[in-house]
Amino acid sequence: MKFSANLGFLYTDLSLTDAVHAANVDGFDALECHFPYDTPPEKLKAALTQTGLRMLGMNTWPGDRAAGDFGLAALPGRAEEARAEIERAFTYAAATGVEAVHVMAGRTDGGTATEDCFRDNLNYACDLAAQHDIGVLIEPINTRDVAGYHLSGTAHAERIINDLARPELKIMFDCYHMQIMQGDLAKTIEELLPIIGHIQIAAVPDRTEPDQGEVDYPWLMKHLQDLGYNGHIGAEYRPRTTTQDGLGWMRALKGNA
């Protein structure tokens, strides 16, 4: 298996560019991040070039996090702001070589207006993505951690992808979120694999290293290989101590590959 370091959760004591180099030294095969905007794109691109690592994905800006925002794309009253952030994300991704943008929906009442807004903004994102050969990801997120998040299940994400029929648009399948919301990870991944763009892992329920908890990740990784999944597995977890001290899980899984 190939593993990508999520620099939103790992190596957070370092600058983004230093984290790129640290992940390379520690044996990660690729990278992903959350909000890289404070790092000048030319500096991130230089670090990626120096290490030879791919940056698989990044997020649109979530809005005013202090006020409870967790995305903007499904908020009808803030469509202009959402599109400005979508544009900013794709501009940054194109300048740095980031391969996909996760468009964050936000917290909504789940009504028709919010769904229509989300779909309109996803179409807008896909138009930009097509210009730059960049992917668009949507991620179902559990409502235990993010109450009211507009997209919280894979059936909803599948409907959106099928209805919009945009080749740029795929699911970011986070095993942590979907074990909390749905369970039955193996079967769900098997059914959705053609529209899954990226997979992430973390222990459930504490979101630490994927070497304990409810999910048997060694078994699941073998199942993914048997299914023919050849993408990366994103390490999006909160280390129990330091990032480096907690990487035994990756060495073990690579040893079993």
Q: Which of 32, 85, 209, 236 is catalytic?
A: 236
Q: Yes or no: say if 137 and 174 are a contact pair by the CB < 8 Å rule.
A: no
Is the peptide bond preceding residue 205 cis, with omega within 30 degrees of 0? yes
Distance in angstroms (rounded) separating the CA atoms of residues 189 and 196 = 8
Q: Is the dihedral of CA 75, 199, 183, 207 positive or negative?
A: negative
Distance in angstroms (rounded) separating the CA atoms of residues 240 and 109 = 34
Q: Kindly report the CA angle at 160 between 158 and 161, in degrees rounded to 5?
A: 65
SS3 annotation, 141-203:
CCCCCCCCECCCCHHHHHHHHHHHCCCCEEEEEEHHHHHHHCCCHHHHHHHHHHHEEEEEECC
Report the amino acid identity of residue 132: H
> Alpha carbon of 71 to those of 78, 203, 207, 232: distances in Å?
10, 24, 21, 25
Q: Is 236 a catalytic residue?
A: yes
Q: Which of 32, 85, 139, 168 is catalytic?
A: 139
Distance in angstroms (rounded) separating the CA atoms of residues 82 and 61 = 9
Extract the tokens encoding 227.
Answer: 């299914």
Catalytic residue numbers, as ranges = 139, 236
